[in-house]
Structure 1
Amino acid sequence: MTATPIQHAQLSRMEDARRQTQRQLELIDRQVMRRITSILPQLARRQTGYRRGKAPDTGSFLERYRNNLAALTAERQPEVDALTRKLTRQDAAIAAFRKRFGPIGDAAQLREEV
């Protein structure tokens, strides 16, 4: 069964919506990383090196970093979960569409051909 131009257009719209959802997830990830990067100077110890014979404790810095990263991630977790569920639904819809209408091919290729 050959795909009609309408089916190609519909598949193209579905794939574009999926890419947009993926971009939103990547944007959230970049925003979290930007925020954790901006607070890194606050997490670092003011005194580096030995103080009264005691070596600097790098473990405490890593613990503060992980705690702050977990807090920032937890803030955005409901949004990430919703987008992940949406992405899963979109993947299932695209797979069902391809299964129903057969291998349509890449919708982007069709746009270039037309």
Structure 2
Amino acid sequence: MTPLSEVRVQLARMEEARRQIQHQLDLIDRHIIRRMTALPRLQPKRTGYRHGKRPDPDTFLECYRSHRAALTAERQPEIDALSRKLAHQDQAIAALRARHGLALPQVA
């Protein structure tokens, strides 16, 4: 049987690997958002009030959602792979904790 200190070191490594994968997913999400804000097509058109019509927010939201879906679809294989890896890491961490009777860390 492995000493408890070795188990804690292994657990720390596993948790750090999980944090890195989560960080990669967060980076992908921020990259998609950054590309969304850079799209000039999503800037609200100012011509509506000149012609006596107010801008339609539903049109803007529909355009925003379709562009976000397109940008997410470009990165979907990478997102899926990282999500699967994250799920496997969560299962492995939970199994290690259960096997050695380690409690979850307290979040303050």
Give yes or no for TM over 0.5.
yes
Runs (5+) with no aligned partner, structure 1:
107-114
Identity over aligned pairs, percent:
56
Aligned amino acid, residue 17 of structure 2: A
CA 1:55/1:105 → structure 2, altered by over 3 Å: closer, same or farther?
closer
- Which portions of structure 1, spanning 4 or more consecutive aligned residues, are displaced by more than 6 angstroms? none
CA distance, structure 2, for counterparts of residue 26 and residue 105 of structure 1: 23
- Distance in 2 (CA, whole Å) between partners of 1:5 and 1:25 is 30
Aligned residue identity for 2:15: E
Higher relative contact order (CA 8 A, sep 6+): 1
Letter in 2 for 1:91: D
Instruction: Tell me the SS of whatever aligns to 1:96.
Output: helix
Q: Does 1:5 align with 2:5?
A: yes
Match of 1:65 in 2: 64
Indicate the RMSD between aligned Cα atoms, in angstroms. Answer: 2.2
1:98 to 2:100 alignment: no
1:77, distance to aligned residue in structure 2 (A) = 1.2
Distance between the aligned counterparts of 1:18 and 1:42, measured in 2? Answer: 37
> How far does residue 97 in structure 1 lie from its aligned partner after superposition?
0.6
CA distance in 1, matches of 2:72, 2:61: 16
Q: Distance in 2 between matches of 1:58 and 1:13?
A: 47
Q: Which runs of 5+ in 2 are unaligned?
A: none
Deviation at 1:58, TM superposition (A): 2.7
Measured in 2, the distance between the counterparts of 1:6 and 1:105 equals: 17
Counterpart CA distance in 2 for 1:105 and 1:6 is: 17
Partner amino acid, structure 2, of 1:4: L
